[in-house]
Structure 1
Amino acid sequence: GRYLQVTALGNAKDITGEMPFVPEVIATAIQFLRKYKALGTPELFRKSVSLSLMEELKKQLNKGLTLRTFLQRYREPGESEFMLLACLIKHYCSALAEPVFTVEVTKQIIVAQESRNTSQEEKLLLFQRYFQLLPTTNRYFLATLLPFLKEVADAQVSAGADGCMNADNLGIVFAPSTMYIPDDPTFGVTSATKAFSIMIKNAKFFPAETSLPFPSVKTEPQQGIHPKLRPRNISDPPTPPPRRRILPTPQKS
């Protein structure tokens, strides 16, 4: 599960041993940024790195080199290396052939976020319910990514530096590559961004596994919602997810 070209969340293996179902590329990048206390680095996840540097890293990973091995060359990593790993995490999310929030779940989340008759507390409950509809591998991936982004947001706010990447700004960065409709990627983009930010702020409520029942939440049907985004019945109990559904292999860079 370490190659960018062939890794699918369904067969991902975290060789770090701490993050099941999370690709080594993501697990190692997160560990590295935590280890070197880089989460408060100004404009982390906002700044880009040189295209040649990113292409060289992708080339090495696609040859079979693990990210952990690649990073051994950096004895005293600094801002450049931190930005490179942040860009790599973003690239991995956007390279997946299907968004990690599946199309059906994305539609339901956007409808809930756009509902004017649903309180913020009720929206959070709906997001939790829809989150559990995701395939197991997707949930484990997001249950690793969301708490990490919460740590980043908290560190950024504490640092108080210019270009603070708080939860709202991280939502702007990550929602377009994780929570969108491939056939119409601009549809509901503002609502998706807000929903993703809410999930970052409440990351502890989105575990990979839960045995707790979700309270019933009633919502009124919304007028003027695009047909593509209208769920079958948002107030009905959720439909169980497909048993063996996994994300497709990421597209080649």
Structure 2
Amino acid sequence: LQLYTFKGPHWCDFCANFLWGLIAQGVKCQDCGFNAHKKCSEKVPNDCMPDMKYVKRVFGVDLTTLVKAQNTLIPAVVEMCIREIEKRGIESEGLYRVAGFHDDVEAIRMSFDKDGDQTDISVDRYDDLNTIASVLKLYFRLLPIPLITFEVYFKVIDIVREDDLNNTQKLEQIKNSFELLPPAHNHTLKHLISHLHRVTEKQQKNMMNAENLAIVFAPTLLRSPETDPLFSLTAVRYERELIELLILNHSYFCTNLS
């Protein structure tokens, strides 16, 4: 654990309280991404395997920290939401585009934060499929480090916008860039993209092709580290193109994502 200056709002993964200050607000594990107040870090073992009882939340917690605490490849909330959506059927028109009930989404979020994988998201408890889909999107949107990390962001966006590369070259270079993703991000991205491809297989009924899903998911899976609003505005197109490429070429990426 090293003293660290966080950019933007961050919370302690031990006590779930805000990390106050402008510089050196807390400490960060360089291996697993665990964030904590300096005082809280004294109560955390140094084995880079945070105990789930010390990780007070699920939403807004570093992805690597969460899967290490849960001892899983992907977060339980992602696995459970995708499983529930596919169990109920992915033919619902506007899946992922239509928002769920806000109060129910918040109730599920709080339940996951409190009860983890014991959370009940069954149809008997929440009969609106769009609510479960909204919970999944919310989880990715609240990640402090996006699923496609800041480190990889510029690399893949530059590849997508490069006119001199053909499609095969772009795919290969994007795949190589994804080798820089932390394992937890890698596995979770693979799981999500495979699911989104299965959604497109029912696009005649759900009206959600790869382009439509990319419009929905690009803002939740990527965030530019660049603060210039003009850059962010022009990058939207390429962010969408990237997610669409991943969905359309899911077998290539999901086979090669380790």
Could you state the TM-score of these two structures normalised by the residue count of structure 1? 0.70
Larger RCO: 1 or 2 (CA < 8 Å, sep 6+): 1
Write the distance in 1 (CA, Å) between the matches of 2:157 and 2:255: 21
Q: Deviation of residue 198 (structure 1)?
A: 0.5
> By how many angstroms is 1:76 displaced?
8.8
Secondary structure of the 2:90 match is coil
Asked if the contact 1:44/1:165 (under 8 Å) is kept, the reply is yes
Picking from 37, 42, 53, the partner of 2:104 is 53
Encode CA deviations 1:83-131: one digit per residue, 9 max, x unaligned. Answer: 1111011101100012111123111111111111111111111111111
Where in structure 1 are there 5+ consecutive unaligned residues?
A: 212-253
Separation in 2, partners of 1:181, 1:34:
31
Question: In 2, Cα distance between the equivalents of 1:103 and 1:187?
Answer: 17
> Superposition pairs for residues 11-26 of structure 1, below 5 Å?
11-13=65-67, 20-26=72-78
Which runs of 5 or more residues in structure 2 are unaligned? 1-51
Task: Give 1:1-253 correspondences, 5 Å limit.
Answer: 3-5=57-59, 7-13=61-67, 20-36=72-88, 38-66=89-117, 69-72=119-122, 74-75=123-124, 78=127, 80=128, 82-157=129-204, 159=205, 161=206, 164-184=207-227, 185-207=232-254
Q: Deviations over 1:194-217 (max 9, x none)?
A: 111010111122237668xxxxxx
Question: Does the 8 Å contact 2:175/2:256 carry over to 1?
Answer: no
Equivalent-residue separation in structure 1 for 2:110 and 2:181 (angstroms): 31
Aligned residues: 200
How big is the alpha-carbon RMSD for the aligned residues of Structure 1 and Structure 2?
2.7
Within 2, Cα distance between the matches of 1:173 and 1:14?
A: 28
How many angstroms apart in 2 are the aligned matches of 1:132 and 1:52? 38
Counterparts of 1:96 and 1:65, CA distance in 2 = 16
Alpha-carbon distance in structure 2 between the residues aligned to 1:139 and 1:210: 6
What is the TM-score normalised by the length of structure 2? Answer: 0.69
Higher helix proportion (structure 1 or 2): 2
1-side partners of 2:148 and 2:177: how far apart?
10
